[in-house]
Amino acid sequence: MHETPLHFRTITEIAEGIASKQLSPVEVTTAMLERIDRLDSRLKSYATVMAEHAMAAAQKAESEINAGQCRGPLHGIPIAIKDLCFTKGVRTMGAATVLADHVPEFNSTVVAKLEAAGAILLGKLNLTEGAMGGYNPKFEIPKNPWNADRWTGSSSSGSGVATAAGLCFGSLGSDTGGSIRFPAAACGTVGLKPTWGRVSRYGVLALAESMDHVGPMTRGVADAGIMLEAIAGFDPNDATSLPDAVPNMLEGLGQNIRGVRIGFDENYATNDIDVELAEAVCAGVEVLKACGAEIVAAQLPDMDEYVAAWPTLCSAEAVAAHAATYPSQRDAYGPWFRGWLDMGAKVTGAEYAKANNLRAACTGHIRRVFEQIDVLVCPSMSAPPHFVTPEMLYGPNEARPPKFQRFTVPFDYNGAPTLSVPCGMNSEGLPLSIQFVGKHLAEPLLCRTGHAYEMATAWHTLHPDV
């Protein structure tokens, strides 16, 4: 008997069960849809459940697999998609009332690639309006499965909740200022933000195109690598997608990390952040050292000065992204995102240029740090998930201190890949998260490093009691 309940097993485990005929895509999909029906009225992670679509896909996958036509590790695996990604014939709303009736006539590239890999789409997941910080009052707010009064990590909140609560085996999120890493950290899951351009953004509603990333959220590092490999690659429909060949993301996963140079700036990682989180990250560094990694003392500048430029860049680019509906339908937006667009509309060309210069300087500093290291380790966010209030959720938006995004924005600026992995629980029973940052296109090394950490600890085996 398998000790882990079906809904909390990893993609890797479910794929092994399907390959050995101990599980079938139809029975797994049926079980997940029943669990969603039973629990999601409280957790509110799904914007749209695609039950008929999922069952038809499961039956097709089962027939193909039984005929010896397995497409790979995602074939027959139920997953879910952040409701930014176009899905043919299914509402794609971006949690905005101006898009409430938006039904795409084609699939986004990431959805098309997941379906080509044989994955089964359970549905579309809730998020903050426009993928920024607050929710439109007419849309549901996902609840943190560890504590319903705590933050779920902002934009990709539905992805974090559904993955953590066992309502899918993996999901897609997006990250412009932290929205793969924040919900992964807040909900206790793995989040993999790829190199910018590694994954096509064609058919994905934009927030700030120069910083938008699409990536997987899962309950295991290997699962994140499997999903990333399926969605990565050049796309002629997205001129910013990278032409580099997609590697085996799990290459060397079972090898040790002896000799890998892991940079750690203790001041950057621990100064003015939650004490229990800082202790957990420092303990994580010791685990990596015990795994054979070479710990290198790194030195980063004060990132907060550079992070402060992010609202200028993001809000101005958001205005460009919403040109079809803002300002013409301004009053249809919720107060949080409406305020964000209003702020962006006031940004001058000179202000954007100054902010962009700060972004370039930040990227330059990080580039020099990586001359001496292979991977940088730091927290995924500056504190465990905080209490939320209606004002935080609905707006108007209030400025957050730069330290809030100290560990996320610099790597949206430079497009470096990052991997967030659970690293502990605090005294209130809330998840803590460690982040690994790599060089461009170094996702396989990040997966290898994160997997080594995961195998040396047990934090990834903990699940919320829902």
Q: Quick: pLDDT tens for 43-67.
A: 999 999 999 999 999 999 999 999 9
| 41: annotated active-site residue | no
Check pLDDT > 70 for residue 1.
no
Region of 141 (left: φ > 0; alpha: ψ -120 to 50; beta: rest) is beta
| 171: annotated active-site residue | no
Catalytic residue among 45, 156, 179, 380: 179
User: In 291-307, which positions are buried (b, 16+ CB within 10 angstroms) versus exposed (e)?
Assistant: bebebbebebbebeebb
Catalytic residue among 155, 157, 171, 380: 155
pTM of the model: 0.98
Domain containing residue 391: 12-257+385-461
Residue 391: pLDDT band (50, 70, 90) is confident
> Please, is 60 exposed, middle or buried when counting C-beta atoms within 10 Å of its C-beta (0-12, 13-18, 19+)?
middle
- When the pLDDT of each residue in the chain is averaged and rounded to a whole number, the result is 97
For 61-85, the pLDDT digits (tens) are: 999 999 999 999 999 999 999 999 9
Catalytic residue among 82, 113, 143, 193: 82
For 318-353, the pLDDT digits (tens) are: 999 999 999 999 999 999 999 999 999 999 999 999
For 117-151, the pLDDT digits (tens) are: 999 999 999 999 999 999 999 999 999 999 999 99
161 falls within a domain: yes
Residue 108: pLDDT band (50, 70, 90) is very high
Pick 155 or 397 by higher pLDDT: 155
| 155: annotated active-site residue | yes
457 falls within a domain: yes
> Please, is 22 exposed, middle or buried when counting C-beta atoms within 10 Å of its C-beta (0-12, 13-18, 19+)?
exposed
The tokens for 272 are 């003015």
416 falls within a domain: yes
CATH number for the domain harbouring residue 201:
3.90.1300.10
Check pLDDT > 50 for residue 33.
yes
| DSSP code per residue over 401-462 | PGGGGTTTHHHHHS---EEEEEEEE-TTS-EEEEEEEESTT-HHHHHHHHHHHHHH--GGG-
390 falls within a domain: yes
Check pLDDT > 90 for residue 399.
no
91 falls within a domain: yes
CA angle 256, 259, 262 (to 5 degrees): 100
Pick 1 or 205 by higher pLDDT: 205
185 falls within a domain: yes
Number of domains forming the structure of the chain:
1
For 415-459, the pLDDT digits (tens) are: 999 999 999 999 999 999 999 999 999 999 999 999 999 999 999
Share of the chain above pLDDT 90, in %: 97
Query: What are the φ and ψ backbone dihedral angles of 108, each rounded to 5 degrees?
Result: -60, 160
The predicted structure's pLDDT at residue 233: 98
401 falls within a domain: yes
The predicted structure's pLDDT at residue 2: 62
335 falls within a domain: no
For 233-268, the pLDDT digits (tens) are: 999 999 999 999 999 999 999 899 999 999 999 999
